[in-house]
Amino acid sequence: MARIAFDRLAHAYPGGAGHALKPMDMVWEDAGAYALLGPSGCGKTTLLNIVSGLIRPSAGRVLFNGADVTALPTERRNVAQVFQFPVVYDTMTVRENLAFPLRNRGMPAAPARARVEHVAGLLGLARDLDRRARNLGADEKQKISLGRGLVRDDVAAILFDEPLTVIDPHLKWELRSRLKELHRQVPVTMIYVTHDQTEALTFADRVVVMSEGEVVQVGTPEALFDRPAHRFVGHFIGSPGMNFLSCALLGAEAILPGGARIALPRAYPALGGRLELGIRPEFASLGAEGLPVAVQRIEDLGRRRIARLDLAGQPFAASLPEGMPVPAEPRLRLDPARLHVYADGRLVEGEG
């Protein structure tokens, strides 16, 4: 098991345009469950491949438990990898597939058998142990790939690269929750790459949000929701994402372009740059009092509705409780405790 640290790490592909990963320092604690989350091209796979040793970074160091592994090839890093497509031996049984990494390391038959049966139990594969892998569905095959990482109790980390891509949507939920449970029972450092916020937020204790080669926030799912450190995180996490309103600031008040004033929970020093007020749709409500708005449309998202509004010329989304009619002269109320100020896209701490 390993604590993984990055020391001034950066990567530019030969012939690539600029940095695929901008310089970063970061620590992933031993036995943590981390997700690397971000849109296509933000650098997730590059970072994962640097951890596994498939890519040697163009600058900086990677440390496993304090030891510099930057120059070590994958086979000497002791990491297990689970890819998008299951990697299993079709002609072997589930048991033989799971035992393979242990046999390779010369583990005696009895402890290997016990270990395989334990892991098969964790994965819900106990009844399939003597079936040939080729007779199984994609989700069960992916469980085998996963199991091959878990049987070894000596791995530094298990790396998952979009592991649910080929899984049927209705089975994704089961595997997602099972993975989280596995991490509770097998406390090994797990790194999970995905562009899907639900997968990241379900699996990880800490989510590493990336945008354009940069880590913009590392935080618990709650922190990413409650206090996005960056405009990108506010947008990317949540459905719909956070609202951002252009504003000016005067002490503990935000002033919208039309002149409306919004009291803030904290005062702010004089700030330069582009200023915005951020608030999630969940903390905005329609009623008889507050800022005048025009309702443009109501979206039905199944268990909840979203009112798409125009607030003094700026688009705004607010949650609308089930069954609540849209007021004839709607006004918008913002929960003051949930208002945040952003300068040039970055969260600004207020005073007091």
| In the complex, least distance from residue 83 CB atom to ligand ATP, rounded to whole angstroms | 12
| In the complex, least distance from residue 289 CB atom to ligand ATP, rounded to whole angstroms | 44
Name which of 40 and 104 has its Cβ closer to ligand ATP.
40
Dig out the tokens for 253 from the structure. Answer: 């008040």
Residue 95: count other Cβ atoms within 10 Å of its Cβ.
Answer: 19
Name which of 48 and 112 has its Cβ closer to ligand ATP.
48
Identify residues 189-248 at the interface with ligand ATP (CB under 6 A).
195
Name which of 44 and 280 has its Cβ closer to ligand ATP.
44
Name which of 49 and 243 has its Cβ closer to ligand ATP.
49
Name which of 215 and 341 has its Cβ closer to ligand ATP.
215
Which parts of the chain fold into alpha helices (H)?
A: 44-52, 94-104, 109-123, 138-150, 169-185, 197-203, 221-226, 231-236
| In the complex, least distance from residue 227 CB atom to ligand ATP, rounded to whole angstroms | 24
Name which of 15 and 325 has its Cβ closer to ligand ATP.
15
Identify residues 27-46 at the interface with ligand ATP (CB under 6 A).
38, 40-46
Helices 109-123 + 94-104 axis angle, to 10: 130
Question: Which residues have CB under 8 Å from 109's CB, separation 6+?
Answer: none
Identify residues 252-291 at the interface with ligand ATP (CB under 6 A).
none
| In the complex, least distance from residue 151 CB atom to ligand ATP, rounded to whole angstroms | 27
| In the complex, least distance from residue 171 CB atom to ligand ATP, rounded to whole angstroms | 22
| In the complex, least distance from residue 62 CB atom to ligand ATP, rounded to whole angstroms | 15
- Residue showing tokens 């080729």: 134
Dig out the tokens for 185 from the structure. Answer: 């029972």
Selection from 134, 145, 142 nearest residue 165 by Cα: 142
Contact (Cβ atoms closer than 8 angstroms) between residue 142 and residue 82: yes
Number of residues that bind ligand ATP (CB under 6 A): 12
Name which of 119 and 201 has its Cβ closer to ligand ATP.
201
Identify residues 11-30 at the interface with ligand ATP (CB under 6 A).
13, 16, 20
| In the complex, least distance from residue 59 CB atom to ligand ATP, rounded to whole angstroms | 15
| In the complex, least distance from residue 80 CB atom to ligand ATP, rounded to whole angstroms | 19
CA 236 to chain centre: 10
Name which of 217 and 319 has its Cβ closer to ligand ATP.
217
- Cis link prior to 108 (omega < 30° from 0)? no
Identify residues 45-64 at the interface with ligand ATP (CB under 6 A).
45-46
Query: How does 139-173 read in b/e, with b if 16+ C-beta sit within 10 Å?
Result: bbbbbbbbbbbbbbeebbbbbbbbbbeebeeeebe
Question: Which residues have CB under 8 Å from 70's CB, separation 6+?
Answer: 56, 57, 60, 61, 62
Binding site for ligand ATP (CB under 6 A): 13, 16, 20, 38, 40-46, 195
